[in-house]
Structure 1
Amino acid sequence: MISSMKKIVRGHQQKHLRKYEKIVQEINQYENEMITVTDEGLKAKTAQFKERLKAGETLNTITPEAFAVVREATKRVLGLRAFDVQLIGGLTISRGNVAEMGTGEGKTLVATLPSYVHALEGKGVHVVTVNEYLAKRDYEMIGQIHEFLGLKVGLNESKLSTEGKQEAYQADITYGVGSEFGFDYLRDHMTTDIKNMVQRPFHYAIIDEIDSVLIDEAKTPLVIAGKSPVQPNLYYICAKMARSFKEEEDYTYDRIARSVNLNDQGISKVERAFGIHNLYDLEHHMLYHFVLQALRAHVIYHRDVDYIIDDGDLKLVDMFTGRIMEGRTLGDGLHQAIEAKEDLEITQENKTQATITIQNYFRMYPALSGMTGTAKTEEEEFQTLYGMDVIQVPPHKTNIRKDYEDVIFETTHEKYSAVAKKVKILSKKGQPVIVGTTSITQSETVASYLDEMELEYELLNAKSIEHEVQLISIAGQKGQVTIATNMAGRGTDIMLDEGVKELGGLFILGTERHESRRIDNQLRGRSGRQGDPGETQLYLSLEDDIVKRFGREDIDEIAPVLKKDQQGVVENKEARILLDKTQEMSENSNFSIREYNLKLDNVIYDQRQVIYDWRNKALNTKDPLTLWVDSLQNTVSDLIKEHTPVRDVPEDWHLNQFKETLTLMVPPAVQLDFSNIEEANEIKDQVQMSLDHYIHHLQPLIEKRGVQNQARKVLLNVIDAYWLKHLEDMSRLKEGINLRTYGQEDPLRAYNKEGFNLFSSTYAQIERDASIYLTRILKPLTSQSKGVKNHA
């Protein structure tokens, strides 16, 4: 079965390559023609291609000539000519796949080809790198080619101002780090002014070291967070005020919806206490919010029912189990409001303001592609999660690097001792060596063994990261010894000193299997660039972390029959099989975790799209008031259903509470009379007439710019406040979701279901609060609440 699958994959690979090789022949046919074209003529080609696309041609039809133009421009600007295999790499990327190309094959030059072609559509191309150093390097070097051809090139740096970022994103091709693109997306959807948005709609992205970005960084979401700006004393002041409020006199309490709202007298009381004119002015939005939270803390939340006080700490109680929910807190300042109510010390609140995984950020691009030296081992993941094939591009020069068989030891001490001896031999010979390690601790352990042998070396790990490029660039000098963690210095070419090739080239000495073969291959790929000689070997032990994690039981079986030679090298073939097995288990485990986490994140991804689309409508529309009216109508409809449940007889409907809440949103409803009502439809008809009457009286306000701006700000403020609270709620749900397996429940299904319920509630709350809040603001501008007849 596995053999059959490999044949299918190989056949698929060859099919792609044959197709690309034919296109390369077309590109080469243009080469002599391009040599005769003037610089201005080459630049004019860009405008011609754009016109041809507008006339109906496709990117595929113009690609051969466009690639030939870029190849010629590269020769004139940088003095470099793209090889045929680089053209194949460019075609692979241009068609939305991953090009696997070995170290030194010129991936940076390859990216010039598809980035130019896709930039011709005028919608922006993002070229993504793993750090700002590489982004700036490529922008300054490769950007010259595109500017020579008349395109605008931008660099998206974290230090840029809003205006600087807008300029970078308006360029035809924009270079930057993946995380910075993601953070800009989040910030764009936090702004309350469309003028501060920086990104254009997504179009096409090329990701350099795509495996690093989409796989290695997939575990860590992008999060914009900040400390709550509220001073603790405000919670205490609001708590004191909430104690003075009286139901009906200062506020209304809807026990069905578990919601409280200040009435006119309560609002006046707050305004007098704080010496302000209008609590509903946007500058007092946070004050209003925390007064309301204090009121909720006093009216809705009860000690020894919803929470307990344990040694001065507020602890929530699970209303279903009655158990304390250790470590859980209420969000949006409500937890602090209850602490103030109980006169406890206020805990500092951290707020997640926006978040997205790097996976789901890049999945928003209609066209995505990338390149790397190592991706084939993760092809299934690229196909499953991103719909991309991995095409292994043939090398320009045959790879003559020697990859020796792994050397296995029983203990880590034996392994590190052997590593030090091997380094001493290589150093004495003058052959440069990079000792690859998986962690800072391991790199320092290796260093201590080299110290015992009085060997000189350069140590490159996170503590010396500022010297990364410098240290890795000299790693190919004669006799140089470099200890490096993982892929430190990735993207930097290691040039061999004179005479090093004759010594065997750069020697890569790995000290442990990584969690995937891909990372091991990246380490090996540091040696033997572009046909240079090189040697690689891994020194392993049966005490390595990966063995402890995935092969502990198997080790117990091998131990009694272990055979070692005079140097302490394990000879049992079972040991090699075990190490292969543990790495495969690690790969499968990590893939499953990434796939599972992506499925979890897809839930909030869909919700984020709904909220961000709503925000964008509020930001972009010239008539946010009408957008608010839609929310008002939805809220009123929900309110009717909530207070006239089908399961209850009319006598049990809470119509007085319904009218109180309704009047906060639809002032004319104060005139409604629900006595002698027997059917919900009668209520619906009365309310709809009152609502229509109110909306009619709002029509003149549509022309008022100030009112529209207020409506826009109210919508955005309420959407943002509840979205932040929802993120916290979803985070708490996610934290405990895996415990559902103990109750024979599918965690993913439970997260989907409960996440949907949370979001539905959040959406309804946004519409309800926006309805109440804006009605308050508009009240002085309308007179329809006075003298309006009952429309029953």
Structure 2
Amino acid sequence: MIQFVKQLTNDQSRRLKAYERRVARINELETTMKALSDDEMRTYTETLKARLLDGKKVDDIAEEGFALVREASVRVLGMRHYDVQLIGGFALLEGNISEMPTGEGKTLVAALPSYVKALEGKGVHVITVNDYLARRDAEQIGKIHDFLGLTVGLNVPDIEADEKRSAYQADITYGVGTEFGFDYLRDNLVHKPEERVQRPFHFAIVDEVDSILIDEAKTPLIIAQKDRSHIRLKQLAQQIISEFEETDYEVDLESKSATFTEAGIVKIEELFAIDNLFSASHQVLYHYLVQALRANVLFELDVDYIVREDKIELIDLFTGRIMEGRSLSEGLHQALEAKEGVTITEENKTTAEITIQHYFRMYPLVGGMTGTAQTSRQEFLKTYNMDVVQVPTNRERQRVDHPDRIFMTTEQKYAAVTEKVAELHATGRPVLIGTTSIAQSEAISKHLKKKRIEHDVLNAKTVAQEADIIANAGQFGKVTIATNMAGRGTDITLDAKAKEAGGLFVIGTERHESKRVDNQLRGRSGRQGDPGATEFFVSLEDEIVKRYAAQKLERVEKKLKPSATGEVSSKDAIEIIEYAQTTIEGLGVSIRDYLFKLDDVLNEQRNIIYTIRNQAVNADADAITKNVLGMMRLALENSIDMHVSDELVPEEWPIDELKDDLRYLTMQEPTWAKDIADTRELKDALNDWMEAIIATTASRLEQDDIVLFAKESLLRAVDMKWTDHLTTMSGLKEGIGLRSYGQEDPSRQFGKEGLEIFEQTYINIARDVTTELCQLDRYFAEMAEEEV
């Protein structure tokens, strides 16, 4: 471990020295840039573009580009990049993560590599965590790019397709990461090339990269169709589960899973008068009962979701924000609706999905920015091949991070937080209280109200005022409660009196599931050398302790000697908190790695389907012809393989069923000689018949209108069967974890069974295409009748 740390330190040192040499050359160019007129600066942009077209690499012109952007920023915004910001820019340009504390000006840093990479003319995407920041950065930093002759686009939800297309055609496009991912999925559902909005991926800069690429990595982006089936069954499932006792189910808090016990299964079978709940005929019932159970025991109101205007709105546990327009799939969202008694909406049936991980891995180069990435360096390297560069601060940090204060109970913790806030508030020192849920923020608020301490509350219910509340949190006398990472991306500026009072004091009310998130909260204080302090108040009743250190606590609880206020200062208590957080961090990495392996299987399948689909959308006649003729051959050969085998003698073959299936596929009578001895002879005998059908189709595909028909048939079959495939794979993923109990590797088994399912999906697509192409005569006859 010591050797690894030494190596890491050496690598960082060498890299920073190389960047510093480049910064020195940029500083030498500053006089030259200052001497240029505004028009000459725009001309310089065209000169750099021309040099790239002549064969120069981006790295060759990066120093001049950075110097140009710095001078443009001075002229347009009155802001000059610090040397450390230039270092951050080089880290991004190389596809790494610039770790820069809050207040170091990451937004301005992004202007440097985004400009240089945009000169290649292939588009740059700058990703933010919310719409507000995307609009703000496009407006502010966009002025620099516009001044230098580049175009800027904004990609946010709910804008028209033409606006999106225009935004993507811009040199630099700002927007929210999820919206870029949804646009990718939508582009792979179109029927005409001109309906697409994106162009090929080139370079992305991801702000708050740890939040987007790690914290949100487990949540797939899903486009779905509405399905109103089984509404009554969902209500019935909720009614049954609400009456269950704790002995009827088991909950695993570590993996957040819930299963029925033997007693629960017997109870269900008796209620429905069925013999076997797990039989195929009861699969739908079992699925909705499991979802109702999960909704009741794993999801908590005002923690995982809120109810507003007769709707369930999901909360992002890492940001504390409402996940606008997002819903849970596979009937789980409807189970929550049934639980809370709100109107049950249509279920979402997935038609397209992709994880954030796999979406951003499609970019040839991705750079990221955050104040907290080093603790996840190995995960970034393994998953995204992105290294972390710790950029020095412009001014030395003055913030004081106090050790945790630990209490026996939650109420004792809240009482201590209230006393601390009252003590600080009496001096006028601004206080920011970070909580992990809405419920917690409201509980703290009640305590402060009893003390008559005025305060603002920022959580998923008050997100509309987010920027204003956070921006004012550093004013003298202000007390602010903020859920988790609410307000991330907005600087907290201190006024003079607040600085005199000691700066912003940040109080954490619970350790988060990741030290990174704790550090993000601490980072709200002490920006740009400002004074400040942080302190975490935790209890041995906190959720993280109950879920991940309950047994450890039980062993040492009697040795703890709390004070009259319930405070514990023993080493054992500190170790329990550390153990709980280390455990959940390790589990989080394992879960993300496991899900990544599972999603890798689906990603390979998606790439195959989307390749076929895009060839059809592009009206690539050669590719369409090759694909559909290959599918016809596959469908016909598979039909034979399904019905006959060498394990049976020819007299035992279901010949009538084979003939019926071939007749269904081709609309023609299959013929072969009698006295077939084995499958090889049968295939040889049918070969001329099959090849004649395929040859007829091939000759017809020389006509443009037939190619168009084949294109639509192919798209129709692909979309329908891919939707069914996603539902099947989701069910497989749901149950694959149980395979570990049978000493099987779940991810390997998922890959194996997923391949078998995909092969059948592909055959089903081939069968649909074959039946449509073999009915061309009927299709054109019907068209002729309609014209008459």
TM value normalised by structure 1? 0.83
Q: Which residue of 1 aligns with 2:303?
A: none
CA contact (8 A) 1:316 1:328 kept: no
| 1:444 and 2:442 matched | yes
Give the match for residue 100 of structure 2.
101
CA distance in 1, matches of 2:565, 2:654: 86
> Which residue of the other structure, out of 475, 481, 484, is the alignment partner of 2:479?
481
**Structure 2 CA distance for partners of 1:671 and 1:398, relative to 1, 3 Å:** closer
Match of 2:632 in 1: 632
Shift of 1:706: 2.8
Whether contact under 8 Å (1:655, 1:674) holds in the other structure is: no
* C-alpha RMSD of the superposition: 2.9
Alpha-carbon contact 2:632-2:694 (below 8 Å) kept: no
Query: Aligned AA for 2:53?
Result: K
Instruction: Using structure 2 for the length normalisation, give the TM-score.
Output: 0.83
Aligned residue number for residue 41 of structure 1: 40
In the superposition, relative to structure 1, how do residues 741 and 451 fare at CA in structure 2: closer, same or farther (>3 Å)? same
Corresponding position of 1:723: 722
Q: Which amino acid aligns with 1:673?
A: W
Q: Which amino acid aligns with 1:629?
A: L
Classify 1:389/1:742 alpha carbon distance in 2 versus 1 (closer, same or farther; 3 Å): same
Structure 1 residue 399 displacement after superposition: 0.6
Could you say which residue in structure 1 is the equivalent of 2:458?
460
- CA distance in 1: counterparts of 2:364 and 2:161, whole angstroms: 25
Shift of 1:492: 0.8
Task: Name the counterpart of 2:402.
Answer: 404
Following TM superposition, by how much is the alpha carbon of 1:681 offset from its aligned partner in structure 2, in angstroms?
Answer: 4.1
Match of 1:52 in 2: 51
Q: Secondary structure at the match of 2:462?
A: helix
1:651 counterpart = 2:657: no
Cα drift, residue 320 of structure 1: 13
Following superposition, the deviation at residue 84 of structure 1 comes to 0.7
Any idea what SS the aligned residue of 2:496 has?
Answer: coil
The Cα shift of 1:312 comes to: 11
Letter of the 1:186 counterpart: L
Q: Deviations over 1:260-299 (max 9, x none)?
A: xxxxxxxxxxxxxxxxxxxxxxxxxxxxxxxxxxxxxxxx
1:132-162 CA-partner distances (Å, limit 9, x unpaired): 1100111111111112222121111211111
Q: Is the 8 A contact 2:405 2:569 kept in 1?
A: no
Task: Return the alpha-carbon distance in structure 2 between the equivalents of residues 197 and 544 of structure 1.
Answer: 48
**SS of match in other structure, 2:513:** coil
Q: How has the CA–CA distance of structure 1 residues 230 and 567 changed in structure 2, closer, same or farther, with 3 Å as cutoff? A: closer
Shift of 1:674: 3.3
Q: Deviations over 1:173-207 (max 9, x none)?
A: 11110110111111111122222111111111110
Q: CA deviation at 1:779?
A: 4.5
What amino acid is aligned across from residue 534 of structure 1 in structure 2? G
Alignment partner of 1:415 out of 394, 413, 416: 413
Describe the SS at the equivalent of 1:352.
Answer: strand
Quick one: distance in 2 between partners of 1:527 and 1:428? 19
1:662 and 2:624 matched: no
Change in 2 beyond 3 A, CA 1:324/1:458: closer
> What are the Cα deviations for residues 319-343 of structure 1, in whole angstroms up to 9, with x where unaligned?
999x9777599x99xxxxxxxxxxx
CA drift at 1:656: 3.7
Please name the residue that 1:224 is paired with.
223
Q: Deviations over 1:452-484 (max 9, x none)?
A: 212111111111111111111111111111111
What is the Cα deviation at residue 689 of structure 1?
Answer: 2.5
Using the TM superposition, give the Cα deviation of residue 407 of structure 1 relative to its aligned residue in structure 2, in angstroms. 1.5
Query: Structure 1 residues 328, 768: CA separation in 2 closer, same or farther (over 3 Å shift)?
Result: farther
Q: Which structure has the larger Rg over C-alpha atoms?
A: 1
* 2:391 match: 393
CA contact (8 A) 1:399 1:528 kept: yes
Q: Which amino acid aligns with 2:204?
A: A
Q: Does 1:576 align with 2:574?
A: yes
Paired residues of 2:98 and 2:388 also in contact (CA < 8 A): yes
Q: CA deviation at 1:583?
A: 1.2
- Contact 1:618/1:627 (CA < 8 Å) preserved in 2? no
- Give secondary structure in 2 for the equivalent of 1:500: helix
CA contact (8 A) 1:436 1:485 kept: yes
Unmatched runs of 5 consecutive residues or more in structure 1 = 233-306, 333-346, 783-792
Are the structure 2 counterparts of residues 618 and 230 from structure 1 closer, same or farther at C-alpha, using a change threshold of 3 Å? farther
Higher mean Cα deviation, 534-543 or 348-357? Answer: 348-357
8 Å CA contact 2:649, 2:678 repeated in 1: no
Q: What is the CA–CA distance in structure 2 between the aligned matches of 1:386 and 1:479, rounded to whole Å?
A: 44
**724-733 or 562-571, which moves further after superposition?**
562-571
Structure 2 residue runs without a partner (length 5+): 232-268, 292-328, 331-344, 782-788
Is the 2:409–2:566 contact (alpha carbons within 8 Å) kept by the matching residues of 1?
no
C-alpha distance in 2 between matches for 1:136 and 1:779 = 54
Out of 536, 539, 543, the residue aligned to residue 537 of structure 2 is 539
Aligned to 1:138: 137
Distance across 1 between alignment mates of 2:35 and 2:775: 73
**Kept after mapping to 2: 8 A contact 1:308/1:316:** no
Q: In 2, distance between residues paired with 1:516 and 1:666? A: 59
Cα deviation for residue 13 of structure 1 reads: 1.5
1:686, distance to aligned residue in structure 2 (A):
4.1
What secondary structure does 1:670 align onto?
coil
Could you say which residue in structure 2 is the equivalent of 1:61?
Answer: 60
Give the corresponding residue for 1:196: 195
- Residue 480 of structure 2 aligns with an amino acid whose one-letter code is T
State how far apart, in whole Å, the 1-side matches of 2:725 and 2:63 are. 50
Q: Which residue of 1 aligns with 2:488?
A: 490
Deviation at 1:675, TM superposition (A): 1.5
Give matches, 1:697-708, under 5 Å. 697-699=696-698, 701-708=700-707
The 2-side partners of 1:631 and 1:702 are apart by 14
- d(CA) in 1 for partners of 2:581, 2:40: 55
User: Alpha-carbon deviation of 1:685?
Assistant: 3.7
Cα contact 2:525–2:534 (8 A) shared by 1 = yes
CA–CA distance in structure 2, aligned partners of residues 118 and 324 of structure 1: 53
Paired amino acid for 2:10:
G
Question: Contact between 2:662 and 2:670, CA under 8 Å: does it hold in 1?
Answer: no
| Native 8 Å contact 2:228 2:346 kept in 1 | no
* Per-residue deviation, residues 187-234 of structure 1 (Å, max 9, x unmatched): 1111222221111111111100001111121222111123138999xx
| Aligned positions of 1:166-315 closer than 5 A | 166-228=165-227, 310=272
- Which residues in structure 2 correspond to 1:73-92 (within 5 Å)? 73-92=72-91
Deviations 1:90-125 (A, max 9, x none): 000110111110111110000011111111222111
CA offsets per residue over residues 30-54 of structure 1, 9 Å max, x none?
2111111222222122222222222
Aligned partner of residue 482 in structure 2, secondary structure = strand
CA distance in 2, matches of 1:716, 1:761: 17
In structure 2, what is the Cα distance between the partners aligned to 1:650 and 1:122? Answer: 65
3-state SS, counterpart of residue 462 of structure 1: coil
Helix, strand or coil at the partner of 2:426: helix
On the 8 A contact 1:643/1:658 being kept in 2, the answer is yes
Q: Number of residue pairs matched?
A: 693
The answer (yes or no) to whether the contact 2:659–2:670 under 8 Å persists in 1 is: no
- On the 8 A contact 1:317/1:325 being kept in 2, the answer is no
Deviation, structure 1 residue 715? 0.6
Distance change in 2, residues 1:525/1:770 (3 Å): same
- The alpha-carbon deviation at position 679 of structure 1 amounts to 4.4
Aligned to 1:522: 520
Q: Given the superposition, is the C-alpha separation of residues 324 and 150 from structure 1 closer, same or farther in structure 2, using an over 3 Å criterion?
A: closer
Match of 2:433 in 1: 435
What does 1:372-391 align with in structure 2 at a 5 Å threshold?
372-391=370-389
SS of the residue 1:495 aligns to: coil
**Where does residue 735 of structure 2 map in the other structure?**
736
Rounded Cα–Cα distance in structure 1 between residues aligned with 2:271 and 2:451: 60
Identity of aligned residues (%): 47
Q: Distance in 2 between matches of 1:771 and 1:507?
A: 69
Among residues 279, 285, 308, which one is paired with 1:317 in the alignment? 279
Q: 1:53 to 1:566 in 2, by over 3 A?
A: same
**Residues 477/65 of structure 1: CA separation in 2 closer, same or farther (3 Å cut):** same
Q: Are residues 1:30 and 2:40 paired?
A: no
Counterpart contact for 2:117–2:203, Cα < 8 Å: yes
Query: 1:660 deviation in Å?
Result: 3.3
Distance 1:315 1:582, change over 3 A: closer
Deviation, structure 1 residue 753: 1.0
Q: Distance in 2 between matches of 1:308 and 1:396?
A: 70
The residue number in structure 2 matching 1:619 is: 617
SS in 2 for 1:732: helix
CA distance in 1, matches of 2:346, 2:36: 67
